[in-house]
Structure 1
Amino acid sequence: MSLSLQILETIEQLKEMAKLEEEIWKTAPVPLHQTLTAAKNGGIVIGAYMDGKLVGFVYSFPGFRNGEVYLCSHMMGIDASFRDRGIGYRLKRKQAEEARRRGYRVIRWTYDPLQSRNGYLNLAKLGAVGVEYVENCYGEMNDALNGQLPSDRFIVEWRLDERPTGERSLAKADLLKARSLTVLEAGQRADGLLQPVPRDIDETAAPLLLTAIPLDFPQLKERDFALALEWRLATRALFQRLLVEGWIAAGAWRCLEEGVLYYIWKRRSERWQQKGEEE
């Protein structure tokens, strides 16, 4: 099966995108007049087709903040039966390519920091960084993804003229050595579910910090909503504090044997050079 990526700009294409959006989130899609207007006025909408069937999309429009124009990437969705095939990564790379061609140098978007799949894609593979935390960003969202949890979001920034940072920037051995710098661990309960366990360490001279989240937060939320809310509130308090104190979420490391994703936090003024190659 072959994948092709196409710019979406016709009414027929955007209707097809709206149908897929509705199937993914089980809620009303963005109105057609809005997506069409964005596509015709500096926005970038890209569809992923598998043998002629639309299986994913990314939707973005122009943004402006503090004197800087950027591309605001509002939504990316992948058909459930086509996930974990690298389609999201390819959509974002195509989005970056098209953004550069049109003169954009920065792409910004939001995502739920407890969704490890998105965290790994955004920070480890693409090289974006988490620069802000917005509490209950979209208010109550009773869709298939959010399910009555507060809709907290990271704002990530992808500077297209910078080399990527992230998991490949530090060797795994170095990350294992940095385990003593973990300020939020995932402790296993008797029922096997992971719970947030904050740790107090001396952060003043720390070169980086690690914070853990469950790899499969959606399943945890389905099994124990109160525990999911505990994760939301624990990460909210910690991530907000770290950002205020000058840290940014600059990478991510999946530790499969523990069932967690570690966010790698660096001070805003510090970046490291990429080592190794993309997978």
Structure 2
Amino acid sequence: MSGTPTAAATAAAELTAQRAGVTLRELHGLDEMHEACRVLDRIWRPDPGNPLITPELLRVFAHSGSYVVGVDRGGRMVGFCLGFLASAGLHSHIAGVDDSVRGRNVGFAVKQHQRAWALARDITTVTWTFDPLISRNAYFNLTKLGAEPSEYLADFYGAMRDEVNAGTETDRLLVRWELTGEHAAGSAEGIPRTVTADVADPRTVVALDAKPDGRPAVGRRDGDTVLVRIPAEAEELRRTDPPLAREWRYALREVLGGLMAEGHTVTGFTRDGWYVIDRRQESQA
């Protein structure tokens, strides 16, 4: 058993949680569901009349076998994740940790726990969505975890009334995480999926970049490698300059969304903020 992918994933998940200083556990009781909803409220600060999810619905998910997991530290729930069964395997709908544990790799511990949980149930694919304009999330999902973008979803949730998403269209990137693949296995061992962006390479073109004034500049899309930049701090931009944030939203939708709609594959994301599409790799596939 010790040599199976499930056993290896479980060991990696336990080690990751230990290093992050947290404990992860499946939730079952209604009191636990209320606590999980309070965690979500602290993170997203939704309109009181429009909760992200209700305790009663969480209990149904848990009772029917979905992934309903709390993250504890020092006897207090500081994070939560919900995933439910879907046609692709498991769809991870919402995950978050509160400010008290940010920067401690708790999110990474959640995903490693989720991977082990899924493999123990013969589920080999996890999907989820994230805002493609948020650089730290793109790096975490594509580089640190090795998930692969599969679809660009324009304004997927419509207008949302929580403080995190209010005032912005909810474009999302749908990703697939193949749990037995080399990138997920490498992630469990702390090996990120790295790519490089060589703007000076004559075979590389820049499809989206920032002008000196910070506005988006749409460029070419016909190179062997296509690069798409996003701002380093889009969340701050939403607060300080909402019109510019919207301009970046529409530019990214046009460029990255357009390239993906044409069938091109995002092969990674760099530390300094570039989505990379390697069309040479596509031609060899």
Q: Report TM bin, short chain.
A: 0.7 to 0.9
What's the offset of the Cα at 1:108?
0.8
TM-score (normalizing by structure 1): 0.84
Q: Match for residue 136 of structure 1?
A: 155
The more displaced of 162-171 and 131-140 is 162-171
TM-score (normalizing by structure 2): 0.82
Q: Match for residue 34 of structure 1?
A: 57
Q: Match for residue 79 of structure 1?
A: 98
Q: Match for residue 222 of structure 2?
A: 202
Q: Match for residue 46 of structure 1?
A: 69
Matches within 5 A, 1:119-130: 119-130=138-149
Report if the CA contact (8 A) 1:181-1:210 is conserved: yes
Structure number with higher helix proportion: 2
Report if the CA contact (8 A) 1:247-1:268 is conserved: no
In structure 2, runs of 5+ residues without a counterpart are 1-19
Q: Match for residue 277 of structure 1?
A: none
What's the offset of the Cα at 1:30?
0.4
How far apart in 1 are the matches of 2:270 and 2:221? Answer: 20
Q: Match for residue 229 of structure 2?
A: 212
The percent of aligned pairs where both chains have the same amino acid is 31
Q: Match for residue 221 of structure 1?
A: 238
Q: How many residues are treated as equivalent by the alignment?
A: 255
How far apart in 2 are the matches of 1:88 and 1:229? Answer: 28
Distance 1:41 1:271, change over 3 A: farther
What's the offset of the Cα at 1:175?
4.3
Q: Match for residue 276 of structure 2?
A: 264
The more displaced of 263-272 and 226-235 is 263-272
The SS at the match of 1:228 is: helix
Q: Match for residue 116 of structure 1?
A: 135
How far apart in 2 are the matches of 1:7 and 1:151? Answer: 29
What's the offset of the Cα at 1:217?
0.6
What's the offset of the Cα at 1:187?
2.4
Q: Which amino acid aligns with 1:229?
A: R
Report if the CA contact (8 A) 2:145-2:193 is conserved: no
Q: Match for residue 231 of structure 1?
A: 248
Q: Which amino acid aligns with 1:20?
A: V
Instruction: Spell out, residue by residue over 1:164-197, the C-alpha distance to the aligned partner (whole angstroms, 9 max, x if none).
Output: 189954565x6465594321112231xxxx3211
Report if the CA contact (8 A) 1:246-1:268 is conserved: no
How far apart in 2 are the matches of 1:213 and 1:114? Answer: 6
Matches within 5 A, 1:173-212: 175=198, 180-189=204-213, 194-203=214-223, 206=224, 208-212=225-229
Q: Which amino acid aligns with 1:62?
A: L
How far apart in 2 are the matches of 1:56 and 1:94? Answer: 13
Q: Which amino acid aligns with 2:256?
A: F
How far apart in 2 are the matches of 1:267 and 1:101? Answer: 36
How far apart in 2 are the matches of 1:105 and 1:11? Answer: 29
What's the offset of the Cα at 1:52?
1.3
Q: Match for residue 248 of structure 1?
A: 265
What's the offset of the Cα at 1:26?
1.1
How far apart in 2 are the matches of 1:53 and 1:267? Answer: 47
How far apart in 1 are the matches of 2:283 and 2:183? Answer: 10
Distance 1:164 1:224, change over 3 A: same
CA RMSD, 1 decimal: 2.5
Report if the CA contact (8 A) 1:58-1:92 is conserved: no
Q: Which amino acid aligns with 2:254?
A: A
